[in-house]
Each structure stands twice: as C-alpha cells, then as structure tokens.
Amino acid sequence: MEQKRIRLRKTDGEVWEIDGAGRVTRYKGGALRWSGSDKWVITGAVAYTPQGGVERHYTLAELLADPAAIPWRFKNGKPKTFLRDLDHGTAREQRGPTVTQGWVP
C-alpha cells in the first residue's frame, strides 16, 4: 500500500509534500529544494480565533486525511491555521511563510 502524501502551497511559492511520517520534501518552481528527513517533521497544525485564542488543534493524521478541509485562512485572507513541527527535538509553530492551499496529489 502506498504511503499517504499531501501537498501544501506556501505564500512564498514553495510547495511542501508531506508524507505519512510527517517528513517534508520542499519544491520551488518545480525544482527540488529539500528532501525529507526524520530530524524535521510536521506534527500537526493549530487554528486560531480572530482574537488569537486557540480554536482547534489538528493532528498529522487529520492533515493527511483532507488538507483542503483545513481553514488555512480567515475570510479576509489573513493566516488562520499554522503548521506545527519538530525540528531536531524542538517543537515549533511556523508563522511564515504560511499555507494558502492544501491538496492530495
């Protein structure tokens, strides 16, 4: 069985392909920029309210299930949902560049 993968478009034009283990492969202009590593993985995402409170946490499994259903932006176009990752053991929340679109290839 093929491992589930999704793609996310970022505001800087990069496309990130995320596999079932959360490893990221980055592309820009169709060219490979970074190949996945176990030292940097996506763990999920968090959506915020307009006032800045946490609205909802998304697991990696939820991201992989239907990335197009995640509310990446508010109606006014501002970022709403941010990716969370684990980079060399440090948990982080990515604030920029932000995701504009998600889909299953």
Write the pLDDT tens digit of every residue in 52-65. 999 999 999 999 99
Mean pLDDT of 13-40: 92
Mean pLDDT of 20-42: 92
Overall number of domains in the chain: 1
Q: pLDDT, tens digit, for every residue of 69-96? A: 999 999 999 999 999 999 999 999 998 8
Average pLDDT, the chain: 92
Beta-carbon count within 10 A of 96 CB: 9
CA distance 43 to 58: 9
Per-residue pLDDT at 1 exceeds 60:
no
Q: Is the pTM of this model over 0.85?
A: yes
Per-residue pLDDT at 104 exceeds 90:
no
Residue 62: name the closest of 79, 48, 43, 75 by CA. 43
Model pLDDT, residue 96: 84
Residue 10 domain boundaries: 5-103
Per-residue pLDDT at 66 exceeds 70:
yes
Beta-carbon count within 10 A of 58 CB: 21
Model pLDDT, residue 75: 95
